[in-house]
Amino acid sequence: MSDTFAISANRQALLDTIAAAAGAAGRDPGDITLVAVSKRQSEERLDAALAAGQRVFGENRVQEAQAHWSARRAGHPDLELRLIGPLQSNKAEDAVALFDVIETLDRDKLAGALRKAMDAQGRTPRLYVQVNTGEEDQKAGVAPAELPDFLARMRQVYGFEIEGLMCIPPVEEPAGLHFALLGKLARENGVARLSMGMSGDFETAVALGATSVRVGTAFFGDRDT
């Protein structure tokens, strides 16, 4: 099967499943954005996704995202690019220049670098704070207990408007527990949007309030290793 046909069919199936999960939860499907995670996918597949009408993409590395999207953006001014992987402070300038949304804000040093880059470039990517809901040592993100103070600093010290919270649940635990926790943290802290859910669990995420789901393999097929 050609990439173009398969990806168009995958995309429609995902949109249908999201709509059904939203309907079952009494939600408006229009409130949920399908983010196609294009890391380690081929050029052909990226073009197939564009041909299918997909415009919102997630990437987890700045350099790879530049290679994938800098030229394609010229032909598609309505693209929306989201950074969903860890960001080093020394890449903040490049990230601000490329991305429309940065979902992995999780420390003051990075906030300072983003503020500086945003002021210098006059660009204001929308920002999400990553929360380490499973409190895993190896995982990025703000610990739940530290979130209120962190959000207060992001708003007061750096002047950021925080659009949403993002999480990546521990692989060995039921994702729903983490999605529910992220939703609770968002309500308690006055944050409007929730980036949660991947190929294996996006329906659960929609049921628990996700406003964007980050789907890679179920959209494009397996990634290059």
Ligand X SMILES: *Cc1c(COP(=O)(O)O)cnc(C)c1O
Q: Which residues bind ligand X (CB under 6 A)?
A: 37, 39, 60, 84-85, 168, 198-200, 214-218
- Considering the complex, what minimum distance in angstroms separates the CB of residue 195 from ligand X? 8
- Using the minimum distance from each CB to ligand X, give the nearer residue, 8 or 199: 199
- Considering the complex, what minimum distance in angstroms separates the CB of residue 63 from ligand X? 15
- Considering the complex, what minimum distance in angstroms separates the CB of residue 222 from ligand X? 9
Residues 59, 81 contacting (CB under 8 angstroms) = yes
- Considering the complex, what minimum distance in angstroms separates the CB of residue 120 from ligand X? 27
- Using the minimum distance from each CB to ligand X, give the nearer residue, 85 or 164: 85
Rounded CA-CA distance 179/131 in Å is 11
C-alpha 49: how far from chain center:
17
- Considering the complex, what minimum distance in angstroms separates the CB of residue 38 from ligand X? 9
Residues 105, 111 contacting (CB under 8 angstroms) = yes
Token code pair at residue 179: 């999605």
Residues 12, 215 contacting (CB under 8 angstroms) = no
- Using the minimum distance from each CB to ligand X, give the nearer residue, 148 or 200: 200
Residues 137, 111 contacting (CB under 8 angstroms) = no
Name the closest residue to ligand X (Cβ): 216
Phi-psi region of 178 (alpha: psi -120 to 50; beta: other; left: phi over 0): alpha
- Using the minimum distance from each CB to ligand X, give the nearer residue, 186 or 218: 218
- Using the minimum distance from each CB to ligand X, give the nearer residue, 52 or 74: 52
C-alpha 172: how far from chain center:
21
